[in-house]
A and B are shown apart, each in its own frame.
Chain A
Amino acid sequence: MSSASSPALSTGTMQNANPPATTPDLYSITASKVHLGPEGFTGVGRRTAGSQRPSAAVSNATLIRWLKDMVAIREFENRCAQAYQQAKIGGFCHLYIGQEALAVGTINCLEKDDPIVTAYRDHGHALARGMSMRACMAEMFGKITGCAKGKGGSMHMFDKPNWNFGGHGIVGAQTPLGAGLAFAAKYEHDVMKRGVDGGAAKKKVALSYLGDGALNQGALHEAMNLAGLMNLPVIFIVENNRYSMGTAIERGTTMAHDLTAKARAYGIEGLQIDGMDILNIYDLFKPLVDRCRETSRPAFVDLLTYRYQGHSMSDPQKYRRKDEVDAVKTTDSIELLARHLMGERKCMSEADFDAIVAEAKAAAVDAVEFAEASPAPEPESELWSDVYANPQPGLSPQREYTAGAKNPLL
């Protein structure tokens, strides 16, 4: 790859003069051609090593916190899978296992009050942004103690105190919302000159996550055009796990070998980042967030990742081979970071790591117990509440709407 010979860093902006001859090769699992290896997606979307890496300045304590967050997500998802198989969780359930570094890495490049919005594979973002495992699991179980009082479910993890504007079920539909969040943040700074909540005006960045399956939805392209036109500080993050359900990316998307071409069409900076290595995410994504905040220009990131589980709990995974999954697991994000902390950083022992895992397992078990013990939403008070913020007589022929219980997160 040309990027390997770049002097200081490969920004991954994909000004690659020699794209692969055939698109599928890039994502092929044939060993001789893959970019996958023990080092991750080698040569693709990576910053070269060195003391100039922004992640070198991240403290040991912070990195250990990131590791804890990633392990927590994985253990939470393991419990979700179990509860789903026990039919304690209904509907669809899309697990984040394999992609943990992405949510934790990108969210930790933000300020606490930068808004984010994501799609339906949203448990990881919710937890990484600070939602308690209890509120998240209780929502999965459809309980009143859940983040949406059991009215949203797996695909709708909303968390107002943590500026998480939700998981959204329709593919791509959340991307214009991301532009809208950036618009509002810019509007309060530039026009109102104060925060909508009465606080000081700040320069903010909005993150709008999407799966690679959303690349071909009109909503994304409209959102990118609006963001480019209006100079909105939003970063569209493609969580490129290579499959939209069972359709491999090159079977559904043109220019799959260079998704940043989509961004160029809208005058937006595009970046490709290896998303299995959280340090690499930070190295490339943090400067991008800073640029976006400073210049109020949008960006688009092709974040290479992988889900170890099926698309949802009902996916038999006939469309990919086990050795492909196994190959990616050799670059597991949690293992990569753990090895770094035990090796280069020498700030964590095997025993420390075991303790982190044990703690996360216990917290996930506690969340399940909490969810099971929590009451279901009361139909009399909850079925007809939160439909209108300002209920009035005559809105329904059946009965009047009401105000329900206070949301547990508020």
Chain B
Amino acid sequence: MAYSRSVDFSKPLPSFTGDRSIQFREALREAMSEEMRRDDRVFLMGEEVAYYQGAYKISQGMLDKFGPQRIIDSPISENGFAGLAVGASMYGLRPIIEFMSWSFSLVAADQILNNVPKMLYMSGGQWGCPVVFRGNDGAGGQLGSTHSWCVEGLYSNVPGMKIAIPSNPYDAKGLLKTAIVDDDPVFFLESERMLSDKAHVPQEEYYIPFGKAHLRREGSDCTLVSFGRPVNFCLDAAQELEKEGVSVDVLDMRTIKPLDTESIVRSLKKTGRIVVVDQCWPFASVASEVITQVCERAFDYLDHQPLRVNSDDVPAPYAKNLEAEFLPHKGKIIRAVKSSLQLL
């Protein structure tokens, strides 16, 4: 089995634009609710998901709809309930586990890194863990060093799980639905800063396939590759660069495991230049991996060495101005693109 039930991924996706504008958090809620209605093995567990209505209001109203046996408040006990999900998923259920923040997943590292992605292998193919872990990733609003983790750099080093990282409400819903039906464990990275973002989410049901990047903007001078919240920084940068006569491709990777290197190489063959924008720290980051793969597979197409824009290589600061400067913001992206075009 590959999915908990058959999903036709060859079906074209519905239009990305339209006028059914809902918040990112509502898109997540719709995805979970639809899948819970379809499959009674799916349940949601996490801190404050039920009676509090979700620490970030993502699961608002779900307790009323599905009851306390399927929308389950957990104590602040990440290692415990992550491990509970491992056992429950091996048994045959399909848990969705909400980490209020991925920063807190670090105390559950043994379960989510040692057990979840390795179980299928260690058991010689007898049991996997079809569980979705989801929550806020990356800097929130001045949350300081311990609460601002971008875990994708750290976690993507480990084989055995998939990692999805949406940048907008449409993708949030379509990717989360795919994550829930996928038979592999999926780490689903949201961002507190995007939960109130509003955009079109189609009425009709859709599942976004993993490993297929979305070309959000077309250009010819440089390829911008990103995932999650910084895709939006890239789009802002692209708009400004346009005014200066520089046009860029903006590729939203949607998932970093699997990674759609084909789409990156295709764009690079057109532009000859690439800047990877990643909210993690630079050392051994996803950006490093993307650039390595580009060098391995398309070195001859590069007209300039690949560049990366990461968060600054320091703990996340508290002060508003410092945090703003720390992030891979628009200004850094514009400078990197210009640098690759030797315009600086």
A residues within 8 Å of B by Cβ? Answer: 115, 117, 146-152, 156, 158-160, 165-166, 168, 170, 173, 175-185, 187-188, 190-192, 196-197, 206, 218-219, 222-223, 225-226, 229-230, 385-390, 392-397, 404, 406-407, 409-410
Contact = CB atoms under 8 A, between A and B. Distances in A.
What 8 A-B pairs come out closest when comparing CB atoms? A180-B87, A176-B83, A222-B80, A196-B92, A394-B258, A148-B124, A184-B91, A177-B87
Given A148-B126, A165-B127, A389-B1, A218 B93 contact: no
A123 to B, nearest CB: 16
B114 interface: yes
Given A192-B40, A392-B258, A146 B124 contact: yes
A115 B91 contact: yes
B218 interface: no
Given A385-B125, A392-B258, A394-B260, A196 B91 contact: yes
Nearest to A382: B124
B210 A183 contact: no
B91 A181 contact: yes
A165 B90 contact: yes
Nearest to B81: A226
Contact of A176 (B80, B92, B93): B80
Most chain A C-beta atoms within 10 Å of own C-beta, residue among B43, B74, B79: B79
Contact of B184 (A190, A229, A390): A390
Given A180-B88, A389-B2, A219 B289 contact: no
Nearest to B72: A230
24 contacts: A152-B123, A176-B80, A177-B83, A180-B83, A180-B91, A183-B84, A187-B43, A187-B69, A187-B93, A219-B80, A219-B83, A225-B80, A226-B84, A229-B75, A386-B123, A387-B120, A388-B120, A389-B184, A390-B3, A394-B258, A397-B289, A407-B124, A407-B125, A407-B126
Contact of B79 (A146, A147, A219, A410): A219
Contacts of B89: 180
B21 interface: no
A147 B75 CA distance: 36
Nearest to A193: B40
Contacts of B86: 176-177, 180
Contacts of B40: 191-192
Nearest to A167: B122
Contacts of A173: 83, 110-111, 114-115
B120 A386 contact: yes
Given A178-B87, A196-B41, 14 more contacts: A148-B122, A148-B126, A149-B124, A151-B121, A175-B83, A183-B87, A184-B91, A191-B43, A191-B69, A191-B70, A219-B79, A225-B75, A226-B84, A395-B162
A159 B259 CA distance: 34
Interface string B1-21: 111000000000000000000
B128 interface: yes
Contacts of A187: 43, 69, 88, 93
Contact of A392 (B123, B210, B262): B210
Contacts of B183: 389-390
A13 B139 CA distance: 50
Nearest to A206: B87
Contacts of A222: 77, 79-81, 83
Contacts, number: 193
B82 interface: yes
Contacts of A395: 159, 162, 211, 257-259
Contacts of A389: 1-2, 120, 128, 130, 183-184
Contacts of B208: none
Nearest to A152: B122
Contacts of B126: 147-148, 158-160, 407, 409-410
Contact of B77 (A150, A206, A225, A393): A225
A166 B123 contact: yes
Given A165-B87, A176-B84, A394-B211, A226 B75 contact: yes
B85 interface: yes
B293 A397 contact: yes
Contacts of A392: 210-211, 258
A175 B111 CA distance: 11
B87 A184 contact: yes
A395 B115 CA distance: 19
Interface string B90-122: 111100000000000000001100110001111
Interface string B230-267: 00000000000000000000000000011111100000
A174 to B, nearest CB: 8
A183 B119 CA distance: 19
A187 B95 CA distance: 11
Nearest to A158: B123
Contact of B292 (A175, A185, A387, A397): A397
A156 B127 CA distance: 12
A181 B88 CA distance: 5
Contact of A223 (B70, B80, B91, B130): B80
Contacts of A159: 126
B34 to A, nearest CB: 18
B204 interface: no
Contacts of A182: 87
B300 interface: no
Contacts of B41: 192, 196
A222 B43 CA distance: 20
B296 interface: yes
B119 to A, nearest CB: 8
B182 A390 contact: yes
Contacts of A148: 122-124, 126
Contacts of A170: 110, 114
B306 interface: no
B159 A386 contact: no
Interface string B292-333: 110010000000000000000000000000000000000000
B153 interface: no
Contacts of B88: 180-181, 183-184, 187
Nearest to B289: A397
A176 B77 CA distance: 11
Contacts of B162: 388, 395
B162 to A, nearest CB: 7
Interface in B255-297: 257-262, 289, 292-293, 296
